[in-house]
Amino acid sequence: MSSLHLTIRSRLDELKQQCHELCDVDNGHAKRGSKAGTTAELFSTVQLWKERSLHHVLEALDKAGAQSIDSHIEAMEHHEKAAKDLFELTRGFLRSSGNGINLVLDNFAVDLAGLVDCIVTSRLEEQRIIHENVVRVLKDENHKLAATCQSLQSVNLSLEERLEVLENTSGAGGDAILCNKLRGRVQHLAIRQRELSTELESAAKDRLKHRRELEKTKTLLAESQKSLVLTRAMHDKETRQLAAMIHLNHTQVAQILDASRSATDTRRHQESLERFSVLHFSSTFEFPSTNSVTHSKETSRATNKTPTAT
């Protein structure tokens, strides 16, 4: 903690102590947090007035009776007098306390103002001395830099004059030619630098434009991906529905084919029976069998029945 803080803290402690001494005093000795002194005297006076007022009221009521109007009026007068005296006492105490506190605060303000003025003045004096030293050092450095700059400028002028003389000499050596080449190269590089700066600005603008287009493309891509996911979901749903319908159609077609196949088998069976009957008749008529009489009779009987059936 700095000396300024310590000094002000000590003065604030002194002010606090003085306020305690002013508000809580017991036989001239300060007691922090106690109820003695002037405050205790005030409370005791209030209690005394309360007891006296109550005593007078009770005496008046005992003398005149509980139903007497005069007793009530007298009691009210005693209470009013007690309240007035209490108010005057409290106001006097507050006035004296306020005057004492104001006096202490005024003295403290004057003391603190003088203390702060002294501290600030000393600090300002220290800062002024430091500032003067810094300014003096900077001025010395500035003079040195000015002298150095002047000497460098004179050297530069002498070098420029020497270079000009060498360039204007007809029989100049390689240094003059090299200087001319270097000067031309520097001029070319300066022009190229300006061109590159312009191209760099244009490239920066194009880059910003391309970045915006890229952000826009990313947004469109995200929307397209969402649409693709939705389309795939709808396609899968429709594919499952079509597969279910195709499976149902296949089942119905299989049932129809089974029924048709059953009907076709029945018709083919009947046609086979009819064809067998016709073939059997033809074979019996062309190549009669002579193995047995019974077979011949059955064949003749079958032959006789066949035209009738036909």
What residues contact residue 105 under an 8 Å CB cut-off, 6+ apart? 15
- At 1 the pLDDT is 41
Ordered by start, the domain boundaries in the chain are 3-133, 268-309
Backbone angles phi, psi at 28, to 5 degrees: 85, 5
DSSP state of 2: -
Q: Write down the number of H helices and E strands in the chain.
A: 5, 2
Say what the pTM is. Answer: 0.30
- At 25 the pLDDT is 44
- At 136 the pLDDT is 94
pLDDT tens per residue, range 195-231 = 999 999 999 999 999 999 999 999 999 999 999 999 9
CA-CA distance, 32 to 13, in Å (whole number)? 13
Distances in Å between the alpha carbon of 201 and those of 5, 153, 187, 197? 58, 36, 21, 6
- At 149 the pLDDT is 94
CA-CA distance, 59 to 82, in Å (whole number)? 16
Distances in Å between the alpha carbon of 95 and those of 33, 85, 101, 102, 255? 22, 15, 10, 10, 119
Whether residue 286 contacts residue 304, with contact meaning beta carbons closer than 8 Å, is answered with no
Largest CA distance in the chain: 177
DSSP state of 65: -
What residues contact residue 37 under an 8 Å CB cut-off, 6+ apart? 23, 24, 25, 26, 31
- At 272 the pLDDT is 65
- At 246 the pLDDT is 85
- At 45 the pLDDT is 75
Q: Which segments of the chain have a pLDDT < 70? A: 1-5, 7-9, 19-40, 42-43, 54, 57-58, 60-62, 64-76, 167, 170-176, 265-310
